[in-house]
Amino acid sequence: MLRELRFVNREPELDKMMRWAREGRYTPVFLYGPEGCGKTRLLKEFYQRLSQHEDYIIVYIDALEEKIPEKALLGSEKVLDVAKSIVEQIGGPVGKALADSVEALLEELYKRIKFKDKHVILLIDDVASPLGLDYIELYAKRLLSLSEELIWRMKARSALLIATTSEGKSARLIARHTYANLYFMWNLPKEHFMELAKQLGAPDEAIMERAWSLTGGNPRALLEIASLRWNFDEWMRHIEHRMRRALFELREHKESIRAALEDPDVLVEDREAFNKMLDLNLIMDFYAEPLGVKPRPNPEMGIGREIAWQIPVYVHVMRRVIE
C-alpha cells in the first residue's frame, strides 16, 4: 500500500496565498494546472496552515465529493453544522450541493459568527465538472458578488475566494471575463519531486531520473509509477491507450500534433487543434498569471514558452503512436 506523502515545497505558491489571506482580494481567483499537479493538496495545506488561527474563518469544499460530508467540507464545527443542514435541504451529491450554495452557507454562518475582524477564506476545489462547464462563467460571477457581500455587507476584515479546475476549457471560459483572475500552477520542481520519489522508496537514482524526465514533476504520475512497482512499461501502456483514443479524436489535426511534439508553441497557429487538445487535457497554456514558478521552456519535456504538454510522457508516447 502507498503511504500518504509528506507535503513538499510549494513555498512560492503558499507565500502568495498567505499574503492574499492577510490582505484579502476583491476579485476571486481561479486556479488551473495539469491534472494531478497538486492543486487539491495545495489547498488542503493552505487550509491546515490557517484553520487553527483565530483571525481566520476558512472553509474548504471539495465539489467533486459525492457522498461523505466530512470529505466534501473542511471547516470549524460551526461550519460543519451549517453545511449539514444545507446538504439535507438540497440533497444530491454533497460536494456539488455545497459548491452550489456557497452564498447560503456563508449567510448562515454570518448569523452565527461575527465576520468583523475576521479574514474570510473560501476554497472550492474542482468546480468545473460537477457544476458543468456551461455554468462556470456564471459561477465566477456569483463568487465575485459573494466577495462584495463579504466585504461590504458582512464587514469581513478581508475576503479571499479561490476555486480550482483542471479542465483546460474552463480556464478558457473564465479568461473571457473580469469576474475572476486566472492563475496557473505547474508540476513540482525537480528537487522537490525527487524528495517525493525518495519518500515512495524509489530503488535508485537512475529510476528517479527516469521518473523525472517522463513525468516532468507530476506527483500523481509519480504515485502511479510507484504503485506499479516502478514498472515504467506498464505505466506507459496505460498512457498509450489514452493517446490512441486522443489521436482518434484529433485525427484531422495530425500535422499540428506532429509539429507540437517538437515545439508545443506551434499550436498558437492552430486554434482548433489547440482547443481540442486543451479540452482533452493533453496540453495547457500559460496565458495567465503564475501562482508559483512558471517552468522554463524545455523542448525535451514538451514545455514551450506559451504552451506545454501536461506531462512529458505524452510527447514520448504520442510520437510512437502517431508514427
Ligand X SMILES: Nc1ncnc2c1ncn2[C@@H]1O[C@H](COP(=O)(O)OP(=O)(O)OP(=O)(O)O)[C@@H](O)[C@H]1O
Pairing, β 283-285 against β 307-309: antiparallel
Query: Strand, coil or helix: what is 162?
Result: strand
Angle (CA) 79 7 237, round 5°: 110
Nearer to ligand X, 213 or 281 (CB): 281
Nearer to ligand X, 44 or 210 (CB): 44
Q: Which does 286 bind (CB under 5 to 8 A by kind): ligand X, Mg ion, none?
A: none
Check binding of 187 to Mg ion (CB under 5 A): no
Residue of 21, 29, 37, 57 interacting with ligand X (CB under 6 A): 37
Q: What are phi and psi of 62, to 5 degrees?
A: -95, 100
Alpha helices in 250-287 (DSSP H): 254-262, 271-279
Return the biggest CA–CA distance within the chain. 63
**Shortest reach from residue 264's CB to Mg ion, in Å:** 23
**Shortest reach from residue 104's CB to ligand X, in Å:** 25
- Check if the beta carbon of residue 211 is closer than 8 Å to that of residue 222: yes
Check binding of 31 to ligand X (CB under 6 A): no
**Shortest reach from residue 108's CB to Mg ion, in Å:** 26
Single out the residue of 304, 301, 314 nearest to residue 245, CA to CA.
314
Nearer to ligand X, 153 or 198 (CB): 198
Q: Which does 37 bind (CB under 5 to 8 A by kind): Mg ion, ligand X, none?
A: ligand X
User: Which residues ranging from 211 to 240 are in contact with ligand X (CB under 6 A)?
Assistant: 219-220, 223
Residue of 147, 166, 187, 215 interacting with ligand X (CB under 6 A): 166
Report residue 59 CA to chain centroid gap.
Answer: 17
Check binding of 218 to Mg ion (CB under 5 A): no
Q: Which does 220 bind (CB under 5 to 8 A by kind): ligand X, Mg ion, none?
A: ligand X
Check binding of 93 to ligand X (CB under 6 A): no
Upper half-sphere CA count for residue 319 (Cβ side, 13 Å): 13
Helical pair 219-227 and 232-249, crossing angle rounded to 10 deg: 130
Helical pair 271-279 and 254-262, crossing angle rounded to 10 deg: 80
Check binding of 10 to ligand X (CB under 6 A): yes
Angle (CA) 173 178 181, round 5°: 75
User: Which residues ranging from 31 to 90 are in contact with Mg ion (CB under 5 A)?
Assistant: 39-40
User: Which residues ranging from 115 to 134 are in contact with ligand X (CB under 6 A)?
Assistant: 126
Check binding of 49 to ligand X (CB under 6 A): no
Upper half-sphere CA count for residue 294 (Cβ side, 13 Å): 16
**Shortest reach from residue 299's CB to ligand X, in Å:** 24
**Shortest reach from residue 258's CB to ligand X, in Å:** 27
CA distance 255 to 1: 42
Nearer to ligand X, 10 or 172 (CB): 10
Report residue 100 CA to chain centroid gap.
Answer: 19
Check binding of 170 to Mg ion (CB under 5 A): no
Binding positions for Mg ion, rule: CB under 5 A: 39-40
Binding positions for ligand X, rule: CB under 6 A: 5, 7-10, 33, 35-41, 126, 166, 196, 219-220, 223
